[in-house]
Amino acid sequence: MEFPVDGANSNQKYMFKKPDAYATIILYEVSAYLVLFPGEDIAMVDAIEFRNVTYAYKRVPALDNLSFRIPENSIVGMIGANGAGKTTAIRLMIRYLQPDRGSILYKGQDIYSLLGKNHMLHGKWNCGNKKSRMQSGGGYPITYIPDLPVVFEELTVLEHLAFIGAMYHTEERIDDLTDLFELKAHLDKVPGILSKGTRQKLSIACALLREYEILLADEPFSGLDPKQISVLKERILEEKCKGKTVILSTHLLSLIESICDYYVLIDRGRLLCQGSLAELMELQGLSSLEKIYLQLSSQEVGETEETETED
Ligand SMILES: Nc1ncnc2c1ncn2[C@@H]1O[C@H](COP(=O)(O)OP(=O)(O)OP(=O)(O)O)[C@@H](O)[C@H]1O
């Protein structure tokens, strides 16, 4: 590798005879950046960050001072027992619910600061064309596969897709998605006569139809046959290759172990642990995600039982 030498152009930024000196100035600039922006992680940006989030449904506590991070451009598995708070965390991320305490950040910005209050709930902020959304600062580009498909009972499969495609100006994707999820034979049917798995595929196609940066998927494999599970896994990996972030809430640990880069384990609304599989395996001295989950969740139950007995 050649480095610029003195004399050629005195206005050039780095003029050193030795590679060491060149490297030194780069190190100096990186260090200066870290001093100026100590909270910034150059290598890993957070797509989403929960900071001490607490949420209760009236008097039912669901999340308790929960903090975790979702690294950008990764596939993240959100894992926890029934009632642990995964769906609640997802509903907070899509701004369907609002935290009682704490904050949720999207790339370092409070999710509620991203667009005006009038656009906060139920996807209203998505209205308008692509250009106006870009002009409004890029908005909050999250799409969502709910745990139970949300459908309009009177609309056919094609009408669902045409409606959403028209809203987001992405009609051109309908053909590919109906092909991919084998929906072509069902285009004229209303949801009431579809099988559970086909309703789920409609829900997935609706979510993938729009432009987004983060895909939140709550039990997305529910009801899918083995071929379609494989199709969805492939599609999720492709989305990551395109720079997207995917958050998967699921109980199917062995299924997601092959695709997730990072895990967030939740128990009764609190964080059990988070990290890559390698980090978690090293930390816990165990060889699989299932073993880690079973070990940590049984520890937590044991601790609680002890406390309750003492009381
Ligand atoms: N609409 C609601 N009203 C009252 N309590 C609720 C409501 N939704 C959830 N909860 C409670 O909040 C807690 C967290 O539930 P949540 O659905 O977030 O758990 P989860 O981890 O998604 O569970 P699962 O794996 O069974 O889907 C539970 O105690 C649940 O009973």
In angstroms and rounded to an integer, the radius of gyration of the C-alpha atoms of the chain is: 23
Q: Identify whether the C-beta of residue 121 lies closer than 8 Å to the C-beta of residue 144.
A: no
Q: Identify whether the C-beta of residue 221 lies closer than 8 Å to the C-beta of residue 234.
A: no
Residue 301: pLDDT band (50, 70, 90) is low
Residue 122: pLDDT band (50, 70, 90) is very low
Q: In 3-state terms, what secondary structure has residue 106?
A: strand
The closest residue, in CA terms, to atom 2 on ligand 1 is: 57
Compute the distance from residue 251 Cα to the ligand 1 centre, in Å.
Answer: 15
The answer, yes or no, to whether residue 303 has pLDDT greater than 50, is: yes
The answer, yes or no, to whether residue 104 has pLDDT greater than 70, is: yes
Q: How many residues does the chain have?
A: 311
> Could you tell which of 55, 88, 270 is best to mutate to test the pocket of ligand 1, judged by most ligand atoms within 8 Å of the CB?
88
More confident position, 112 or 90: 90
pLDDT of 190: 97
The closest residue, in CA terms, to atom 7 on ligand 1 is: 57
Name the range with the highest mean pLDDT among 68-72, 118-122, 137-141: 68-72
Compute the distance from residue 203 Cα to the ligand 1 centre, in Å.
Answer: 21
The answer, yes or no, to whether residue 53 has pLDDT greater than 80, is: yes
pLDDT per position as a tens digit, 223-274? 999 999 999 999 999 999 999 999 999 999 999 999 999 999 999 999 999 9
Mean pLDDT of the region 48-63: 96
Query: Does the C-beta of 250 come closer than 6 Å to ligand 1?
Result: no
pLDDT per position as a tens digit, 141-183? 999 999 988 889 999 999 999 999 998 899 999 999 999 999 9
Mean pLDDT of the region 181-199: 97
> Maximum distance among all alpha carbons in the chain?
80
Q: Can you tell me which atom of ligand 1 is nearest the CA of 90?
A: 18
pLDDT of 116: 42
pLDDT per position as a tens digit, 127-139? 444 444 443 434 6
